[in-house]
Every structure is written in C-alpha cells, then in structure tokens.
Amino acid sequence: MTCYLRCFLCLFLCVKTIGASAQQYTLTGKVTEVKGNVVPFASVYVNTTTQGTSSNVDGQYKLSLPAGKIELLFTAVGYDDRKVTVVMKENTTLDIVLAPKIFTLNDVVIKVSTENRADEIIKKVIANRKTYLNEIDAFSCEVYTKAMQKLLNAPKKFFGRDVAVILDLDSNRQGVIYLSETESKLDFKQRDKIREVMISSKIAGDDNGFSFNKASDLSVNFYNNVLFEDKLSIRGFVSPVADNAFSYYKYKFLGTTEEDGRTISKIQVIPKRKNLPAFAGTIYIVNDSWRINALNLFVTKDNGIELIDTLTVQQKLIEVGDVYVPQSIQFSIAGKLFGFKFSGYVMGVYKNYNVNPTFNKNFFTNEILRIERSSNKRDPFYWEKNRSVPLTAEERENYQRKDSVTALKASQRYLDSVDHVKNRFNPGQILVTPYVHYRSYNKKSVTYDPIATSIFYNTVEGLGLKYSVNWRQGFEDGRYYTIKPEVRYGFANERFNANIKSKYLFDASRNGAIAVGFGSEVANLSSQKQTNLLRNTINALIFGKNPAKFYERRFFNVEASREFAPSFEFKISADYARRTALTNANLTSFRSEPNFTSNNPFAPDDENSLLFPQHKALVVSSTLAYTVAQRYITRPDGRFYIESDYPRIEVNYKRGLRGVFGSSVDYDFISVEIYQKKLHFGMFGKSSILIGAGKFLTSKSLNYPDWKHFRANQSMVFDPDDRNFQFLDFYIFNTTRQYFEAHFQHNFGSFFLSKIPLIKKLKLEEIIGSAYLSSPEKRNYNEFYFGIKRLNFRIHYGYAYDRDEMIKKGFKFSYGFNL
C-alpha cells in the first residue's frame, strides 16, 4: 500500500509540475518616460529571444508568459534599453519608465578635414549596404498587424450624401472609419519570395469581412537604394544609406551611447533641399559593424508624396544569431484631402523568428497571401488572449460599439433604415452622377445613368437620348449577376434601338463569368471606341467636327471567361449581328461653318455613300492572356491580383463563319500583344511599353467592322491610355492584312521640374512618349510627344510623321488616371 501511495504522490507531483510549467499568465503595464509621457510602440521582449510584443499608442502593453522567473527587455527608439526580471505566478501589472538615451560627443576628435563624424559613419554603412541587404537568405516568423484610420474632420456633404451617416461619424464628424487586426505566418526567401498565411482576422463591425492588412506590405528594407517606389510617388524616396545618398542628404552627428556593450551612434539625416525625394529624421547605427539599429524618419508633401501630407516610419531591429531582423515597425499618416482631415497608423510586431528555415522546392508560388476561411471566426476571448498589442480606449470603444450592433446591422430592419437615408433622391445629383438605389439586405442595387451623359448629339442621329439602368444581385460567396437594359433614340434619323446585356460571375475564385446580350444598338465603326458620347457632342457642336462614325447592328452575343490556372485567363465569345451602314441626318453646329464629313470615312465628301452593304456576320473569337510572375491573394471570397511588374502576353484569334445563319463573312485573324505597364528606373521614373503584331491568315470575305482597328485619336481631348496613337485617324488606316505596332511612354516623376523654383511646388510630372505603326495602309508611321501631368490631368505637345514627312502636330489634353 505504501508503495502504491508513493507512486501516486510522485505522479501527482509530476502532473502538478507539468501543469505549473504550462500555466500562462498575463503581464500588463504602461511604458512612460521620466516626465510621465507615454512611450508609444515600445518593444517588450523576453530577453535573448524574439518572443514579445509592442506597446500601443497610449504606451500600454500586454504579454502572455509562462510561470517562473523571466528577464524582460524594454526598448524604444531614442530611449535606453531596460532589463527587468519578473516572477510570474499570477497575472501581474508592471509599469516601466524609460530614460531618454544620452548621446555624448566626448569621443569626437577634431580633425583638419571637411568630413564630419556623421559622414564617416554613413560612408561605412554604405560600404556594407549590399552585404546587409542580402545577408538573410531566408526566415520564418509570426507577425501581428493592426491598422487604424480615423477622420478628424469631414464635410457635411459629399456628392450630395450625408458624410456622417455614410461613415458612421459622431456629431463633430469625427470617428474611426477602419480598425483591423491580423495574425499571420510569414515566410521569406531571397530573391523576394514571400508566402503569408493569415490565420486570424478581425475588422470592427464586420464579422464576415477579411482584413486588407498584409504583413508583407510592412516589409521595408532601408538598405535598398530606393523605397516606396511608385507607391507614394512615381520615383519613390532615396534611402539615407543609398549608394548615392550624399547627393540627397547631409548628416549631423548627435552623439553615441552604450547598449549591451555596443556603441550606438545617433545621426540626424537632413535633405539637402526641401523638395528632394528624401527622408528627414534620425537613424541609429551600430559602430564597428556599421549597420542600422533603429530609425525614425518621415517624408512630407514637400518631398513629393501624394494624397497624404506626412508619412512617418519607425523601425526597430533585433539581433537574431548573426543577423538583424525587424522587431517592430510603424507607419503613421496624416493629411487632408477634399475637405477630409484624417490620421492613422499601421503597425507590425514580429516574433518567433527562425532564420534558418528549410523550404521544399515548390513551397513558394505566386500566391503571396492566403487568408484562411475560418480566420474571421475568432471570438472576443481569443483576441483578448492572443492580441499582441493592447487596444487603446478609443479602439476598444470602437470595437464594442460596432461589434455590439453587428447582428443588428445584418438585420433587414437596420439595413432598410440605412438604405432609406442612402436612397434619398437628389435631383442635382442625378444630373451629373449616377443615382443608386440600394436594397442591402437582399444584396441588390439599381444604378440609373446621370442625365448629363445621356443626352448627346452627333451628325448621324442628331440630338439623341441614350439611357440605361443596371440591376445587380449579389450573393454571400462573391457571386453576382447584372442585367442592364438600354434604350437609345435619335431624333434626326428617327431610329429607336434597345438592348439588354447581362453578366453572371459564377466562380469568384477563378473569375469565371458568362455574359449574354441581344437587341440593337448604334455602335462606333471602330471596335476600340476611342471617343465617348459627351466628347463627340462637344466636338460636333462647339468645334464643328464629327470624327466619330457609326453603324447600326442588331445582335445576339455570348461570352464566357475563366482562369484555368493563376494568371492564365481564357475567354471565348460568339457574336451574331445584322450590320447596317448609316449616313448623316443632321449637320447642326454652333460654329457658322462646321467642318463636317460624311459618315463614310473613305468618302468624306459624299453624304450618300455607304461604307458597306447590309449583311449578317457570325464571328467567334478567343483570347488567351497570361501575366508573367503575377502575384495574387487568395481570399475565401475570391482571388485578387497584385499589379504586376512583368509583361502581360495576350494572344487573340478571330474567325468569321460564312454560311452559318446567313453569315457572309469568311476570314481568320490572329494577333499577339505584349504589354508591360511598369518598368521602374528609380529616381528617373517609370516607363510603359507595348509591342503588338497581327495578320489576317485568310480574308475571303469581310466588311469594315471586321478589320483590325487601332487605338487611334483625332480629338484634342482624349483618354490617357499609354497604348493610344495620338494623331492617327480613327478609321482610314486600319488594316485587312498584317501590322506591327509599338508604343513607349516614360514618366520622369518631376525629376527635372522639381529643381526649378516656384514650378516645383506644382508637383508636375514630365511625360515623353513615342509610337510606331507599319502596315500596308500606313508604312513607317511615327509619333513623338512630350508634356506634363498632375494627378489625373495631362497636357502634351506632339508630332506625327508619315515616313520622313511631318504630317501633324499640336497639343493634346487628357483626364483620367494612368501612367
């Protein structure tokens, strides 16, 4: 019996010991400095490990720890590190006061030299830049992210809508508009191979949503020469330790301090000129190894950032083995845009690093982020236990308020009440913007065209009216379908046309869709549709020109598309139509002597000339498109692509089927197009390039709508598509044989204009471009242009040459977002 009792007691003690060692307790507290001010984003780590957290903007921290004696390390940029030993046997509160780092200048030796101490240190960092840029071949870690954006002030109305109601603001038009947290597993391998799996996701007030936070977006390496390229500005910003940093910065030595036996130098970085694409702030360097220890840098709108006024970056690095990796990073923004004053931050806390992981051959793919389906199903107890950074009082209140009404917000009564406000009819609004009627509970909406774009004039129809209504039905899994009826009437030619077009997205994860349309319509003779009704109306009534030509078609078409693999999209369509050529019916203009031509571009002086006889055509076509190395995000509600830095290759085949349903067309056409939207050149901006070629393999019978049409332009105002010809005629140089075309455009991103006083304040970007076309109808056609742009407005001056003879020149204006 005694023996059994001893065994039982031993087993009991073992179980108790194991249970005690597995017990987790919570350590909470507040990090302040000696004057009592909070220290936001301070790092709190178990010493000599990468297990830790960060304080929030109010200095509060929370860390889950096992029972026993533990040594903690508290660090923050600009403050002395502090090590504290705690004994965890229950939930504990520990407030910490950090002392500002004292940087002394005692070790500075005055030399007869033009180089100061800061320059010497930065030169040594630059000499080691490439080594540290690539020193980590691979790593795995866990990342916690939190993003919070709030409005500090907002206008009462925006496009006729009550802003406070739409964005759920308080009576002062203030409030948190986005609050989200995530937990992810992040894997990285040189060169730029990333795999992230989001295991937890939370958005305030949206139990079914998935966060847009990406841990990979926070990966910023200041050993790169240029940062944030084509994100906050075209050119990006030069790193303070870039190879050419001394062309952009001057440096001031602020002193040294000791940290764990290492000497840390504090360097102030100052842009040489106010408008340079450069950071300002402080950077901390480890002496002897000459690497970055921490940084606190910012850029402002004076440095070229768009849409926001200030971006601040704080980063703290930690030594793991023989390498340094990010411990925490914070991006803070502030700005004012269209009357909205806003601020916010995004932060990331890294922990549990493995700097020697092993990945199998197919571990990394073009999928850079996968969000697990159950990631948004974590309950509040899970987040209270696992949240790396405590919520501030404001964030906690926002979660409680929005989450408490989540169920209510999903109810029909609530959604109907919100829709009642959103659906208020504003006569002024529908004149210039679409009017949308929502039925949110049923995921339905109806969009009505604005009146301003529905009334038009052209010489074929005279004064006309075109109006459409788009009805949309959505589903929980991302599927949706749309039905769009449209009517069109020309008062001069007294022709009425109506059609219905519909689309069903049946597979959101593979962008699988089918579309069907039937009816009649007045269509542009060019399939590229380079001009819209409003622009053509202005050309006709004000400038007395009618560059757009039209024909009528009664049609039935069907199209199906789907990705059969990531970045591979296949589309097939069939179009059956009866085509009818049209003539001018009205030649009215505000100009006393308009320069109108007939609707047949090949017989401009013959008003009765028809471009082609009435005929029927059945055309089937297919397109295979592939974007090289295009990365994507896989969410439970679909696949979402990241804009690629590599070319998109598109192969098209089109076949006219003669004798089927009375079709009279008979031809085969194939084309290949390679388009790269972004070619980055650092401080010299970015380029786009397109190369295309095609050929009619057979052309036994075809009419003008079947020809190969180019992206031409005859208007002074045009769409800013960098694949457009700027001066080419819409119609007469299209081809029935073969062609080759090339387009190039470069945006210098204020590289030159930022150096000119006064003008640099306008933030104008320099644009140059060229285009080339060769076909039997237009051999060796060239265009060259140069100009400026600002946001979505652009003006340039160009020249067009037919072989060696200049045939056109002039100004062009455009609006719309593009390169």
pLDDT digits (tens, 9 = 90+) for 721-767: 778 898 998 899 999 999 999 999 999 998 898 888 888 888 899 99
pLDDT value, residue 15:
35
112 has pLDDT over 50? no
What would the two tokens of residue 536 be? 């053509």
Domain boundary among 361, 382, 407: 407
For residue 129, pLDDT beyond 50: yes
Count of beta carbons in the 10 Å neighbourhood of residue 657: 16
Cα–Cα distance measured from residue 176 to residue 173, given in angstroms and rounded to the nearest whole number: 10
Give the C-alpha separation, 66 to 385, whole Å. 13
**Minimal CA–CA distance to 789: which of 744, 712, 727, 722?**
722
pLDDT beyond 60 at 110:
no
Ranges of H-type helices in 469-544? 533-541
Model confidence pLDDT, tens digit, residues 215-270? 888 889 999 999 998 888 888 999 999 999 999 999 999 988 888 788 999 999 99
Residue that is written with structure tokens 């894997």 in the block: 187
Query: What is the predicted pLDDT for the residue at 279?
Result: 96
Q: Check residues 238 and 539 and name the one with the higher pLDDT.
A: 238
pTM of the model: 0.84
- Which residue stretches of 328-449 are H helix? 380-386, 393-404, 406-409, 412-422, 427-432
pLDDT in tens, 667-705: 999 999 999 988 888 888 999 999 999 999 999 999 999
Share of the chain above pLDDT 70, in %: 95
- pLDDT at residue 529, as a whole number: 66
Closest CA to 672 of 699, 684, 690, 645: 690
Edge to edge, what strands does the sheet with 68-75 contain? 52-54, 43-46, 68-75, 82-88
CB atoms within 10 A of CB 267: 25
**Residue 315 pLDDT exceeds 90:** yes
Cα 143 to its chain centre, rounded Å, is: 22
Q: H-type helices in 23-116, by residue range? A: none
pLDDT confidence band for 106 (50 / 70 / 90): low
The phi, psi pair for 236, rounded to 5°, reads: 85, -165
pLDDT at residue 13 tops 80: no
Mean pLDDT for 410-435 is: 79
Give how far Cα 59 sits from Cα of 43, 314, 406, Å.
Answer: 10, 15, 29
**Residue partners of 36: CB distance under 8 A and separation at least 6:** none
Q: How far is 672 from 623, CA to CA, in rounded Å?
A: 10
- Let me know how many helices (H) and strands (E) the chain has, helices first: 10, 44
Three-state SS annotation for 101-131: CCCECCCCCCCCCCCCHHHHHHHHHHHCHHH
Mean pLDDT: which of 107-116, 235-244, 711-720 is highest? 235-244
Per-residue pLDDT at 530: 63
**DSSP for 732-801, written as a single string:** TT-BSSEEEEEEEEEE--STTGGGSTTGGGG--EEEEEEEEEEETTEEEEEEEEEEEEETTEEEEEEEEE
- Both 340 and 194 in a single domain? yes
Query: What's residue 410's pLDDT?
Result: 72
Tokens for 117, please give them.
């101490």
Nearest to 388 by CA among 252, 565, 544, 184: 184
618 and 656 in contact (C-beta within 8 Å)? yes
Count the neighbouring beta carbons within 10 Å of the beta carbon of residue 407.
10
Region 274-281: mean pLDDT is 92
% of the chain with per-residue pLDDT over 90: 52
Kindly give the residue spans of alpha helices, DSSP state H, lying in 277-319: none
Distance between CA atoms of residues 789 and 272, nearest Å: 26
Residue 19 banded pLDDT, cuts 50, 70, 90: very low
The two tokens of residue 561 are: 């598309």
* Token output for 744: 């190039």
Of 98, 99, 32, 96, nearest to 59 by C-alpha is: 32
State whether 254 and 397 are in the same domain: yes
Longest dimension (CA), the chain: 121
Given this model, what pLDDT does residue 50 score?
79
Q: Which residue has the tokens 């980590």?
A: 136
Report if residue 175 sits inside a domain.
Answer: yes
Same domain, 122 and 86: no
Considering only residues 260 and 492, tell me which one the structure prediction assigns the higher pLDDT. Answer: 492
pLDDT at 325 over 70: yes
Does 160 share its domain with 287?
yes
* Element containing residue 635 per DSSP (H, E): strand 632-635
213 pLDDT band (50/70/90 cuts)? confident
Report pLDDT for 118: 93
Backbone angles phi and psi of 114, in degrees to 5 = -80, -10
Question: Residue 678 domain-assigned?
Answer: no
- Do residues 134 and 88 share a domain? no
Q: How far is CA 154 from the centre of its chain?
A: 24
**CA geometry: angle 432, 433, 434, nearest 5 deg:** 135
Residue 312 has pLDDT above 90, yes or no: yes
In a domain, 742, yes or no: no
- Residue 180, pLDDT score: 93
Same domain for 134 and 59: no
Q: Mean pLDDT, to the nearest integer, of 478-486?
A: 94
Same domain, 386 and 267: yes
**pLDDT at position 160, please?**
66
558/436: higher pLDDT: 558
**Three-state secondary-structure class, residue 230:** coil
User: What's the domain count of the chain?
Assistant: 2
Of 98, 131, 166, which closes a domain? 98
Same domain, 197 and 344: yes
Residue closest to 526 by CA, chosen among 710, 680, 696, 692: 710
Asked whether residue 367 is domain-assigned, the answer is: yes
CB 525 within 8 A of CB 601: yes
Which range among 134-143, 166-175, 581-590 shows the weakest confidence by mean pLDDT?
Answer: 166-175
Give the number of other CB atoms < 10 A from CB of residue 516: 15
* CA–CA distance, 77 with 222 (Å, rounded to integer): 16
Choice among 68-82, 243-257, 407-421, 729-743 with the minimum mean pLDDT: 407-421
Q: Which helix (H) or strand (E) holds 163?
A: helix 163-167
Instruction: State mean pLDDT over 187-207.
Output: 89
> What's the chain's Rg over C-alpha atoms?
32
pLDDT tens digits for range 640-651: 888 888 999 999
C-alpha dist (Å) from residue 433 to 429, 444, 592, 792: 6, 19, 33, 18
**Are 247 and 361 in the same domain?**
yes
pLDDT band (50, 70, 90) for residue 555: very high
The 8-class DSSP code of residue 79 comes to B
Residue 233 lies in a domain: yes
Closest CA to 729 of 516, 545, 523: 545
- Side chain identity, residue 7: C
Most confident of 204-208, 505-509, 660-664, 775-779: 660-664
Residue 92 belongs to domain with CATH number: 2.60.40.1120
What angle (nearest 5°) sits at the alpha carbon of residue 681, between those of residues 774 and 568?
65
Asked if 196 contacts 370 with a C-beta cutoff of 8 angstroms, the reply is yes
Task: Report the 10 Å Cβ neighbour count for 384.
Answer: 12
Give the model's confidence band at 289: pLDDT under 50 very low, under 70 low, under 90 confident, else very high: very high
| Residue 528 included in any domain | no
pLDDT at 817 > cutoff 70: no
Q: What is the mean pLDDT of residues 99-107?
A: 75
Domain boundary among 65, 98, 131: 98
What does the pLDDT read at residue 547? 87
The answer to the question of residue 468 being in a domain is no
Structure tokens at 28: 């909470």
Domain residues for the domain of 61 are 21-98
Query: Does one domain contain both 84 and 162?
Result: no
Here the tokens at position 685 are 């901006």
pLDDT in tens, 577-635: 999 999 999 998 888 889 899 999 999 999 999 999 999 999 999 999 999 988 999 88
Query: Under a CB-based contact definition with an 8 Å cutoff, are residues 50 and 318 in contact?
Result: yes
Question: Which neighbouring-strand residues pair with 97?
Answer: 32
Predicted confidence at residue 493, as pLDDT, reads 93
**Category of 160 on φ-ψ map: left (φ > 0), alpha (ψ -120 to 50) or beta:** left
User: Are 272 and 365 contained in the same domain?
Assistant: yes
Retrieve residue 535's tokens. Answer: 């622009």
Q: How many CB atoms lie within 10 A of CB 292?
A: 21
Examine the pLDDT at 6 and tell me if it is beyond 60.
Answer: no
pLDDT at residue number 237:
94
Q: Are residues 310 and 272 in the same domain?
A: yes
Q: Identify whether 706 is part of a domain.
A: no
Determine if the peptide bond prior to 191 is cis (ω within 30°). yes
C-beta of residue 138 within 8 angstroms of C-beta of residue 189: yes
Residue 30 CA, chain-centre distance (Å), reads 37
